[in-house]
Every structure is written in structure tokens, then in C-alpha cells.
Amino acid sequence: MSVDNKGFDMAAWGGFKEKLLDTPAAANRTKVATARWVQGEEARVTVDGKEITIGADDTMNMMEMMLASFAACDAAVVGLHASFMGLKVNNITVEVSGGYNVAAYLGVEGAPGSGYDRISTTVYLDAPDVTPEQIAHLTHMCEVGSPVGDTFARAVPTEVKIVART
């Protein structure tokens, strides 16, 4: 039995989950982000017609946005799977912290990689009836079901090309 928690349409999610048993390819997604440089580290980024400014003085920078995306993703994973289990949730707060070194970003020779070298996540779950077994399942789902967490946990091939427009 599922329960709707803060806007999860469990009939739709449950139906989609069942559909994936017969049509796994329906779960595939492809996204394109376009960043337009404004100045300094500021860029306007568009994905699917939605726009956000990253790197301005009053916005998150790129590395902060990565942590924010990870935290938001895990909050959604916990909320969705708690709902699948029929667990009523009052609140979920996810805290993600990480460290990185900017020397390579600045072009310092021999510097370590400039990405996060460690990330830690703590989920604060306000669900009075939660059991240890449910907590174990929610933890497992964060480890294997979080798209952002999964991306951090494995090496994802990347390709960079620069096309000069003159």
C-alpha cells in the first residue's frame, strides 16, 4: 500500500514503475544543458526551457549546485520510496557536504583533480512510524536509486570539444 507524501502522485508513479517491467527503455532520459557565459564565473543555464543563473555573486556556484542537486535528488528518492512503502513522512532534510581543491581549475601544474574528492550525505527523516528495516531500505535506495548519487559514485565518460566560431 502506498501513501501520497507532499505531492507524489503514487498512482502515476506506481503505474510507471509497472510499465518499466515490460518496457525498460521507457526509463531512459537524455537532457541537454546549454550554458551561456555572462561574466566571470556567471553563466545562464537552460535545460528544457527552464533557466537558472549559476556562479553570480548572489547565486550558487557550479560546485555548490552539484551538492544542491545531490541533496534534492536524495530527498526525492526518500520521499518517493517512503511513499511506495506506505510510510507517512512529515519532513525530509538532506545535508550533503564535500571537499574539493581549485588548484587544477586555476591551471596549477601537478595539482590534484578539481572535482569533489569526498562527499558525505545525512538524511534527517521525520517519520514517526519508520522501522529500522524501512530505514535500511531507504538508505539502499539512496545508494542505488539516486541518479545524482549514482553519477557521483561511478566514473562517467566525458568528451570535450571546442568549436571556434569566427
Q: Quick check: is 20 in a domain?
A: no
Structure-derived torsion over alpha carbons of residues 103, 68, 11, 17, reported in degrees to the nearest 10: 10
Give residue for cell 595539482.
111
pLDDT of res. 3: 66
- Kindly give the residue spans of alpha helices, DSSP state H, lying in the chain: 10-22, 62-84, 132-145, 147-153
Model pLDDT for residues 48-92, shown as the tens digit of each residue: 999 999 999 999 999 999 999 999 999 999 999 999 999 999 999
Q: Quick check: is 27 in a domain?
A: no
The amino acid at 75: A
Query: Does residue 14 have a pLDDT over 70?
Result: yes
Give the closest residue to 5 by CA, choosing from 93, 82, 77, 73: 82
Q: Quick check: is 136 in a domain?
A: yes
CA distance 13 to 32: 24
CA distance 138 to 37: 39
Number of domains in the chain: 1
The range of the structural domain enclosing residue 82 comes to 61-166
Q: Quick check: is 161 in a domain?
A: yes
In this structure, what CATH number is given to the domain that contains residue 67?
A: 3.30.300.20
Q: Quick check: is 52 in a domain?
A: no
pLDDT of res. 10: 76
Model pLDDT for residues 88-136, shown as the tens digit of each residue: 999 999 999 999 999 998 899 999 888 899 999 999 999 999 999 999 9
Q: Quick check: is 32 in a domain?
A: no
Q: Quick check: is 154 in a domain?
A: yes
Q: Which whole number is the average pLDDT over 18-28?
A: 86
Query: Does residue 137 have a pLDDT over 90?
Result: yes
How distant, in Å, are the alpha carbons of 19, 92, 133 from that of 127?
A: 29, 9, 13
Task: Tell me the chain's radius of gyration from C-alpha atoms.
Answer: 19
pLDDT of res. 1: 57
